[in-house]
């Protein structure tokens, strides 16, 4: 609707200003204090009903339209990462060692802009909008599940959300009608060998050698146990075995992550990892501890709702290309919302114009093109109003 787009155009500078404020004052997962206060005050000034402390540090705000209709939820995350910023932006983080290096500042600014725009059009709204401002997406167990348990989706009929993507061209939207993002699990293996003098390895059970064999053996799970037509990633990301140069360590510790795109493969990975650990340690006469923590589940979009939002995106000024994407192996706890209600999650291109090789997410020099905020806001706002009008 042109009217709604015009309203958002008028709010563009404010949306950018909000993003820059949030970027300057980032807060870590589960440690968010000032950010939820800022969000709550913004909604209160609009006259929205507000709940704070939802599932921890989450915020819910409610906008009731003038007419009866469905309830649409819109979600944005607002936590930052433990990264020292190196962007040299005028609004760089003033909280040393903490940075918005994934775009959550942009997500929140976008949603606050949508809230203000829809508030100006509440006489046209057929239903209720629930603004879900979620804490702690970056750090499992995440904020989505506790917010859901605390009523975030109560009465909700559909949910929409987006992620700004710095390595996706500005003006491009990517979507997928089924599995979009992988499950995100973590593991830890501790090998208990028998330490000793590095000059007399025959008297030891070398935990470093055993752990090294385990790293190698793990790779055979994906290559030889997982169906080649299915996707799986097993990455050992940390190897610890402390000691001086001439001492074979008594213990060695491995940590890493496992990513899959369906539940059967997820179960298989955990089972096969245990089997490989048992076999490797048995051959060496070593003991072990194995901990496998299930993180976020696979993010599976709903086909009808995804196609609906992409139809809306085609009408949005600033959107030049819409593509169906392959799944990515990154995790996202938005997946919990989609397990409960129908909806979709899509990617909004935010690659800085003129930058051929932008810094990736979670990099200390990460940045986005702020023109992406308005594009994302228009898609979310227009999808909300159109869904309400079609389902009133």
Q: Which residues does the annotation place in the binding site for Mn(2+)?
A: 102, 104, 138, 163, 362
Active site residue: 137, 179, 369, 382, which one? 137
Q: Is 27 a catalytic residue?
A: no
Active site residue: 27, 32, 77, 79, which one? 79
Quote the CA–CA distance of 342 and 112 in Å, as a whole number.
23
CA distances for 354 relative to 114, 330, 351, angstroms: 28, 26, 9
Q: Is 96 a catalytic residue?
A: no
Quote the CA–CA distance of 168 and 72 in Å, as a whole number.
27
CA distances for 384 relative to 107, 123, 130, 305, angstroms: 16, 14, 10, 11
3-state secondary structure of 316: coil
* 8 A C-beta contact, residue 368 and residue 103: yes
Quote the CA–CA distance of 139 and 104 in Å, as a whole number.
13
Element (H, E) at 169: strand 158-169
* 8 A C-beta contact, residue 190 and residue 197: no
CA distances for 214 relative to 26, 187, 210, 236, angstroms: 39, 13, 6, 10
| For the chain, the helix, strand and coil percentages under 3-state DSSP, each to the nearest 5 | 35, 30, 35
CA 13 to chain centre: 26
| Binding-site residues | 102, 104, 138, 163, 362
> Please, which residues bridge with residue 233 across strands?
259
- Side-chain-side CA neighbours of residue 86 (13 Å): 7
Quote the CA–CA distance of 204 and 317 in Å, as a whole number.
68
Residues marked active site are found at: 79, 137
């Amino acid at each position: 609707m042109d009217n709604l787009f015009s309203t958002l155009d008028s709010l563009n500078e404010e949306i950018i200003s909000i993003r820059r404020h949030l970027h300057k004052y980032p807060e870590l997962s589960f440690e968010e204090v000032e950010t939820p206060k800022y969000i709550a005050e913004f909604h209160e000034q609009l006259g929205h009903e507000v709940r704070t402390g939802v599932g921890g540090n989450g915020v819910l705000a409610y906008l009731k339209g003038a007419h009866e209709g469905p309830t649409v939820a819109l979600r944005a995350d607002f936590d930052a990462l433990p990264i020292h910023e190196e962007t040299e932006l005028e609004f760089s983080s003033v909280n040393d060692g903490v940075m918005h290096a994934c775009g959550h500042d942009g997500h929140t600014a976008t949603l606050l802009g949508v809230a203000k725009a829809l508030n100006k059009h509440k006489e046209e709204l057929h239903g209720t909008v629930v603004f879900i401002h979620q804490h702690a997406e970056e750090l499992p167990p995440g904020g989505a599940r506790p917010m859901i348990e605390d009523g975030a989706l109560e009465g909700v009929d559909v949910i929409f959300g987006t992620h700004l993507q710095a390595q996706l061209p500005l003006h491009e939207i990517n979507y997928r009608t089924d599995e979009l993002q992988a499950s995100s699990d973590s593991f830890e293996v501790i090998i208990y060998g028998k330490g000793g003098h590095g000059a007399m390895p025959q008297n030891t059970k070398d935990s470093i050698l055993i752990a090294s064999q385990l790293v190698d053996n793990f790779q055979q799970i994906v290559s030889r146990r997982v169906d080649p037509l299915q996707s799986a990633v097993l990455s050992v990301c940390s190897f610890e075995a402390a000691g001086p140069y001439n001492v074979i360590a008594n213990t060695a510790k491995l940590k890493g992550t496992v990513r899959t795109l369906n539940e059967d493969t997820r179960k298989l990975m955990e089972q096969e990892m245990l089997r490989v650990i048992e076999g490797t340690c048995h051959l060496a006469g070593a003991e072990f501890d194995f901990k496998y923590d299930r993180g976020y589940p696979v993010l599976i979009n709903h086909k009808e709702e995804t196609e609906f939002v992409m139809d809306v995106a085609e009408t949005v000024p600033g959107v030049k290309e819409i593509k169906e994407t392959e799944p990515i192996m990154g995790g996202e706890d938005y997946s919990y919302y989609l397990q409960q209600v129908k909806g979709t999650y899509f990617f909004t291109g935010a690659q800085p114009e003129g930058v051929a090789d932008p810094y990736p997410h979670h990099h200390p020099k990460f940045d986005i093109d702020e023109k992406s905020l308005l594009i994302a806001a228009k898609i979310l706002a227009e999808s909300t109003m159109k869904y309400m009008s079609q389902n009133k």
